[in-house]
Amino acid sequence: MKLIVGLGNPGSRYEGNRHNIGFMAVDEIHRRHSTFQPWRARFQGQVSEGRLGSEKVLLLKPSTYMNESGRSVGEAMRFYKIEPEDIVVLYDELDLPPAKFRMKKGGGHGGHNGLRSITAHIGADYRRLRLGIGHPGDKKLVSNYVLGDFAKADRDWLEPLLTEVADHADLLAEGKDSQFANKLTLILEPEKSQRKNKAPNGEGGAPKHQKAKGQSHIRQARQQAPANLPKSGPMAEMLKKLLGGRKD
């Protein structure tokens, strides 16, 4: 059994909050994979069992509020005897721009109260999918910002992000975090993916169509001059001056 946890606060009041992007992502996984059962109350949260790829998976949305998320996660983990490395937590990340994401295993809580609680209950060795929501620019504004709803304009990046997370969630369940990240980068950040995957030129030099670095126009003219030049007349005199007296 693998455990995929979305973090957020329960109730309609918080449903559209930036802090609830973890709930949104897990809801999208549930919607897009017909193998999952209806949500039901268990482990101090809402759970649904199903399959992703070759793995049996439990989706969990703690109902304990963000600051006590670890109580719900710990209870589910102990019941199914799940190891921390088989747990993936999806949550909002202030330090990432909107629409960006990062996979990480272990580490600190970074001031996130949901992670702080989970780490206190099960240790720090679980896997994390950080979903960027951006930062308001001032620490004093953070609370209102994360507990504020996404703007309508955010749908342009939020919906594609949640869709791709859900469509490739089988890779998360199978522990293929690098493949998961590569898939999402290829789709959501194609320019970045192209830069990373750009192959070096043959022998490591500049492409043939590019001018050699440091060569003047005169030097290039010398290299590319036709073999048969006029021997007399105005054109012959001009080429003689251009090519520095070269005789073919």
d(CA 133, CA 198): 29
Q: How many CB atoms lie within 10 A of CB 114?
A: 27
Q: Which of 19, 30, 33, 168 is catalytic?
A: 19
What is the Cα 225 distance to its own chain's centre?
A: 52
d(CA 76, CA 89): 13
| Residues 72, 74, 78: CA angle, nearest 5 degrees | 125
d(CA 41, CA 69): 15
Residues 6+ apart with CB under 8 A from 227: 248
- DSSP code of residue 17: B
- Told to judge if 168 belongs to the known catalytic residues of this protein, a careful annotator would answer no
Closest among 56, 89, 49 to 70, alpha carbons compared = 89
pLDDT averages per 10-residue partition of the chain, 248 residues? 98 97 98 97 98 96 97 98 97 95 93 96 97 95 96 96 97 96 91 59 42 43 50 63 53
Q: How many CB atoms lie within 10 A of CB 169?
A: 27
d(CA 186, CA 164): 11
Question: pLDDT tens, 41-74?
Answer: 999 999 999 999 999 999 999 999 999 999 999 9
d(CA 19, CA 177): 23
Where do the H-state alpha helices sit in the chain?
A: 21-32, 69-80, 113-122, 142-146, 155-167, 169-173, 177-188, 190-197, 217-224, 234-242
Axis-axis angle for helices 113-122, 69-80 (nearest 10) = 40
Q: Given this model, what pLDDT does residue 149 score? A: 98
Question: CATH 3.40.50.1470: which residues of the chain?
Answer: 2-195
φ, ψ for residue 116 (rounded to 5)? -55, -45
What fold characterizes domain 2-195?
Answer: Rossmann fold (3.40.50)
